Structure 1
Amino acid sequence: MTGHKTPRVINVDVNFTLPSHLNYGTFILERISNLNEKVAFINGATDEKISFGEVAQQVVNVSSSLTKLGIKQGDVVALCSENRPEFLISAIAALCSGAVITFINSSYNKDELVHTMGISKPTYIFMSPNTFKSFHEVIKESRPGCKFFVFGDADKRVATSYDELSRSHVNRLSFQPVDFKGRVETALILYSSGTTGPPKGAKLTHSGLIIAGMQPTCTKRQLNSLSIAPWSNTVGYINTIRETIRGQTCIYLNKFNEATYLRAVEKHKAGLLMAVPPLIVMLAKSSILNKYDVSSVELMYCGGAPLDWSVIMEIKQRFPNLKHVLQGYGMTETPGVLTEEHEGMTQNGSVGRVAPGNIVKVVDIETRQILGPNEQGEVCVKGPVLFEGYIGKDMSEYLDEDGYYKTGDVAYYDDEGFFFITDRLKELIKYKAWQVAPSELEALILQHPKVKDVGVIGKPDQLAGELPTAFVVKKSEDLTEKEIIDFVAFKVSPWKHLRGGVRFIDEVPKNGSGKILRRMLRDLLKENPRSKL
């Protein structure tokens, strides 16, 4: 703290008019309908392009087909695919038809897939040929009666081809999407990890997503953007749609390959790189960067985890025309952004000012009293952008008595309203912007017959953010580190692997109620950091 200032709640008014239909899909369609021949999406690996006009027409065709097939308001439509235009087109089309959409990560294993499908309970699912091959049998078993749509060729006995849905040409001027007539309805279910176990289903509203789409973005200039974030996660989807609504050309990749990425920057003149800290670190240290023309890059936008100032200075040395590395802060529960920097409105080390549609306060962690500028406390938020709750969860645990969502993030704001994230109350581990719940890994490791007890924390790492690390109490003396690492790797997605390794200890420190004292584990880690695996 730097001295007491007048406590205040930061309320940024929403100075724009919402459409009366309150349909997020219709809102997107309206924003892109007049862009016609302008390129909307470019596959950075194959150079395939699709125009805004083609996107809009396919949205109308697919939505009309879905309505004819019987999809109606409230039906849940899932999408499980790598990044490709059909993914976003199908999502927008389903929203126009009144359905609720949800995204299934194509990297999930069987248990994670079944868990998330069990939360949202979709009755229809769009898939790529690859994800259909991997998950069709699992989904058919866990969701009997679920109807499948496949991007590309499909066996008509088990699935409908996307091409069949998009083939019939519907007049865009006569197309009638679902009108919610001012009612606030659920649009999107996204999965937010928590400290108490596997992902929870967060319900986002049409109105909240429309407001998020209207929020000012980091630049008013027209710059081709490049992103490798999967569209099945919050950051990837929300940022891509924000750019799409503004008529920006979005270059996308399904996976990171350094040469392919830099070639895409050069060939398609990317001016805005949407990145997480590990990617910016890699670019700053790239040994092949000088082989490519990256002079088109003027801005980098970073989110998902804090970015060290030294990295910002280093990356500016590598990109000749890079003007700003802008940062933003948000979460699944507040689609769009909670705070964000803009060109001409930055502060070293900050994540920007509060975005429209959010009401934010910083409170003392112990007393819950509202704090003033330059005083650290927990960030709490409410407002029209905030999600409407977790499926099947009592929200009293997550909201304070005034209805503010308790983010679990510790921060302060300065006299000019710029926010600085300093710590995290929540115990989530952030590995390359992926969220890993320690309790999920602890429950898994405890299933090993040679393990007596375990505590999991994140080991700080400049490249990845944090590396999941386990402190294990042995039940059998012949238990090895490799045995536990392999045991976990076999059962979870790659970002949950124990890349920070395993430390064997005599006892996991806990308080009187049995809660693991993770700060003590972090102290042990500092004493014996070792190298990452």
Structure 2
Amino acid sequence: MNGIIYGDNNFSLPSHMNFGKYFLDKICTHNNAEALIDAATKKKITFDEMARQITSTVSCLKKLGVKQSDVVAICSENRIEFLITAIAIFYSGAILVCVNNGYSEDEVVHVLHISRPKYMFMSLSTYNKYYKLLKNLNLIEKFIIFDTISMNSEVINFNDMPQGSLEINTYKPTEENGGTALILYSSGTTGLAKAAKISHRSLIIAVQQPTLSKRNVVMLTITPWSSTMGIVILLQELFYGKTIAFLPRFDEKLYLHAIQTYKVCILTVAPPTIVTLCKSTIVKDFDISSVEIIYSGGAPLNSTVIKELKTRFPHIKRVLQGYGMTETTGALTTEEENMSREGSVGKIVYGAIIKIVDYETRKILGPGQFGEVCVKGPILFDGYIGKDSKDDFDEDGFYKTGDIAYYDEDGFFYIVDRIKELIKYKAWQVPPSELEGLLMKLPSVKDVGVVGIPDSLAGELPTAFIVKQPNMDVKETDIIKYINTKVSPWKRLRGGVIFVKEIPKTGSGKILRRKLRDMIPKLPASKL
């Protein structure tokens, strides 16, 4: 290998370049097989019925006045209507923006001011949580609620949308030529979420990546579909005809019951769920012998946990990992059932080009040498909305991931560390600078530095080091309560607050986070 690794170009691109049509045409070939199972409500839908509902929803969007390149938001927990609406939006030529239903009000305002959607689909819970806030923003022209509620002039029920008549085999999608299909939010070290533009072309390639297993088996997922990992894996496995059971959130008993009831073979999870399974005291009450494959993503999985998992659950044949990001439309490297190597995150995916470079000299490195992962190719995103991305790319057009990795002689990749300072809490990304910015608004805070401290269950816990203003008194509980009102649950200061006399910095003012970590005392049990 010459230091640049090329993924196969074993993918096809349709002439119309509309992901919605491409996906719909494919699922129609799966006929009456079960597509989605809501393990919480027991509601099911076949591929045939899904195709009909997608087409009907496209018609409804047209009747509502949704036009090409209009931005349409979905803010909901995982549910069947979420997927149907998403594909219909793609098909119509509009742009889907996924808004996480766990966002704080400040975060919702931030992300919507970036993408500025005209229409918004919501569940009843997100409607109750955000409607007053959203109404005052004066951005959304029409709200569509998946559940039945009393209506007003701005809100209609999903099932009451204006109907039309479209034939699946004759309706023609809007020509897109591979333009923006999806906006996903990606956190960064510069603060609040950035809006990454994902093209129809990138999604078309993403769903053609090899499936985790070629067998016709049931998969269970709890990953939010508003996240990159959640939506891309869902689309990919449905594309190949898999039956997907899902839950809106993790509930240990319900999760284990779903495995037993639906004979789940594949689990797609973040590491904390795997740790929970290893430590579970009720798992013995359920038959989970159908599980043969666990696919872990979102954060590195400790090799010790893998060994413990295989020891406790000997029926598990493969623990697979992948590595990716929003900017690469999901996985950049991944393992498959018959192509894995313990400790690695797999081989390069279709449509990607990777080079490993020395972080300082930018020299291309060979096998076994640690360096920054840089990537380009048709899977790459089309930049951020409202942000100059030139500093994110090198002179050869490679996106600089900020992650340190190496690959072996066989092309398997191994993640070593992150240049970026993101804290990984249960696979969620927590930008330290965002928390630091909020904390610096407090009159009692003179200076602050935030780092992640290791935690066996969550990965890392956000922890604040604070220098108090002279002659001002502030307690840890006051700071934690303040942050809890400003951020999503996964960004809370679960590692606590440590008061110090000084935040260590370089001569240029950059926080020396390594030195902050060295200052961490022995902490109490995890505050999850």
If the TM-score is normalised by the length of the shorter chain, which range does it land in?
over 0.9
Q: 1:501·1:532 contact (CA, 8 Å) conserved in 2?
A: no
Q: Which amino acid aligns with 2:310?
A: K
Identity of aligned residues (%): 52
Deviations 1:86-122 (A, max 9, x none): 1110010011000010011111121111100011010
User: Match of 2:187?
Assistant: 193
Aligned positions of 1:365-376 closer than 5 A: 365-376=359-370
Match of 2:128 among 124, 133, 146: 133
In structure 2, C-alpha distance between the alignment counterparts of 1:529 and 1:242, rounded to whole Å = 42
For residue 47 of structure 2, what is the aligned residue in structure 1?
A: 52
Q: Report what 1:173 is aligned to.
A: 169
Q: State the Cα distance separating 1:242 from its structure 2 match.
A: 0.9
Name the structure 1 match of 2:226.
Answer: 232
- Alpha-carbon distance in structure 1 between the residues aligned to 2:391 and 2:524: 37
Distance in 1, matches of 2:35 and 2:392, equals: 38
SS in 2 for 1:435: strand
- Paired with 2:320 and 2:384, the residues of 1 have a C-alpha distance of 31
Give the CA deviation at 1:184: 2.5
Which has the higher mean CA deviation after the structures are superposed, 309-318 or 417-426? 309-318
SS of residue in 1 equivalent to 2:493: coil
Do the aligned partners of 1:363 and 1:371 also contact (CA within 8 Å) in 2? Answer: yes
Q: TM-score, normalised by structure 1?
A: 0.96
Whether the aligned pair in 2 keeps the contact of 1:459 and 1:469 (CA below 8 Å) is yes
Name the aligned partner's letter for residue 396 of structure 1: K
Q: 1:43 aligns with which of 29, 38, 41?
A: 38
The residue number in structure 2 matching 1:277 is 271
| SS at structure 2 position matched to 1:440 | helix
Aligned to 2:332: 338
Task: Report the Cα distance in structure 2 between the residues aligned to 1:443 and 1:151, rounded to whole angstroms.
Answer: 36
Kept in 2, the 8 Å contact 1:61–1:166? The answer is: no
> Per the alignment, do residues 355 and 145 of structure 1 end up closer, same or farther by CA in structure 2, a change over 3 Å counting?
closer
1:45 counterpart SS class = coil
The CA distance in 1 between the partners of 2:189 and 2:399, in whole Å, is: 15
- Work out the CA distance in 2 between the residues paired with 1:440 and 1:143: 26
Moved more, 380-389 or 476-485: 476-485
Shift of 1:435: 0.8
Tell me the CA shift for residue 167 of structure 1: 5.4
Give the CA deviation at 1:165.
3.2
Q: What residue in structure 2 maps to residue 298 of structure 1?
A: 292
RMSD of aligned residue pairs (Cα, Å): 1.4
Q: For 1:400-411, what aligned pairs fall within 5 Å after superposition?
A: 400-411=394-405
What code does the residue aligned with 2:301 have? L
Alpha-carbon shift at residue 530 of structure 1 (Å): 4.8
Q: Which amino acid aligns with 1:14?
A: N
Aligned to 1:397: 391
Deviation sequence 1:339-386 (CA, Å, 0-9, x none): 011122211210001111110000001101000000000000000000
SS of structure 1 residue aligned to 2:273: helix
Contact 2:63 2:163 in 1 (8 A): no
Matches within 5 A, 1:242-281: 242-281=236-275
Q: What is the alpha-carbon distance in structure 1 between the residues aligned to residue 140 and residue 159 of structure 2?
A: 22
Could you give the per-residue CA deviations for residues 456-494 of structure 1, whole angstroms, max 9, x where no partner exists?
000111110110001111114532222211121122111
Amino acid at match of 1:351: V
* Contact 1:121-1:143 within 8 A present in 2 as well: no
1:157 pairs, out of 153, 158, 162, with: 153
Q: Secondary structure at the match of 1:503?
A: strand
1:359 is aligned, of 353, 359, 376, to 353
Separation in 2 of the partners of 1:86 and 1:532? Answer: 36
Q: Which amino acid aligns with 1:185?
A: G
Secondary structure in 2 matching 1:130: helix
In the alignment, the residues of structure 2 paired with residue 19 and residue 214 of structure 1 have an alpha-carbon distance, to the nearest angstrom, of 12
Gaps of 5+ in 1: 1-5
Q: Does 1:452 align with 2:477?
A: no
Paired residue secondary structure (2:451)? strand
Following the alignment from structure 2 to structure 1, what is the Cα–Cα distance between the partners of residues 88 and 296? Answer: 29
Partner of 1:492 in structure 2?
Answer: 487
Tell me by how many angstroms 1:335 deviates. Answer: 1.0
Aligned to 2:208: 214
- 1:31 is aligned, of 26, 46, 63, to 26
The structural deviation recorded for 1:166 is 7.8
Which of 458, 467, 475 is the matching residue for 1:480?
475
1:202-236 Cα distance to aligned partner (Å, 9 max, x none): 00000011001111122211210001111111111
Q: Is the 8 A contact 1:75 1:99 kept in 2?
A: yes
Residue pair 1:43, 1:253 contacting (<8 A) in 2 also: yes
Go from structure 1 to structure 2 and tell me whether the alpha carbon gap of 1:145 and 1:465 turns closer, same or farther (over 3 Å shift): closer
Whole-angstrom CA distance in 2 between matches of 1:118 and 1:373: 44
- How far, CA to CA, are the matches of 1:145 and 1:41 in structure 2? 30
Cα deviation, 1:502-530, whole Å, max 9, x if unaligned, reads 111111011111111111112222x5455
Of the structure 1 ranges 352-361 and 9-18, higher mean CA displacement relative to structure 2 is found in 9-18
Bigger mean CA offset, 60-69 vs 195-204? 60-69
Matches of 1:117 and 1:278, distance apart in 2: 30
Is it true that 1:12 corresponds to 2:4 in the alignment? no
Which of 495, 501, 507 is the aligned partner of 2:502?
507
Q: CA deviation at 1:319?
A: 2.6
Note the 1:62-77 alignment, pairs <5 A: 62-77=57-72
Query: Offset of 1:156 from its aligned partner?
Result: 4.5
**8 Å CA contact retained: 2:120, 2:140:** no
Aligned to 2:137: 142
- Is this contact kept in 2: 1:297–1:319, CA < 8 A? no
Moved more, 68-77 or 357-366: 68-77
Structure 1 stretch displaced more, 64-73 or 509-518: 64-73
C-alpha change, 1:44 and 1:390, in structure 2 (3 Å) is same
Alignment partners' CA distance in 2, 1:529 and 1:362? 37
Partner of 2:519: 524
For residues 109-128 of structure 1, what are the structure 2 equivalents within 5 Å? 109-128=104-123
Letter in 2 for 1:90: T
- What do the CA deviations read for 1:254-284 (whole angstroms, capped 9, x no partner)? 1111111000000011100001000001001
Q: TM-score, normalised by structure 2?
A: 0.97
AA aligned opposite 1:118: H
Change in 2 beyond 3 A, CA 1:286/1:528: closer
Match of 1:422 in 2: 416
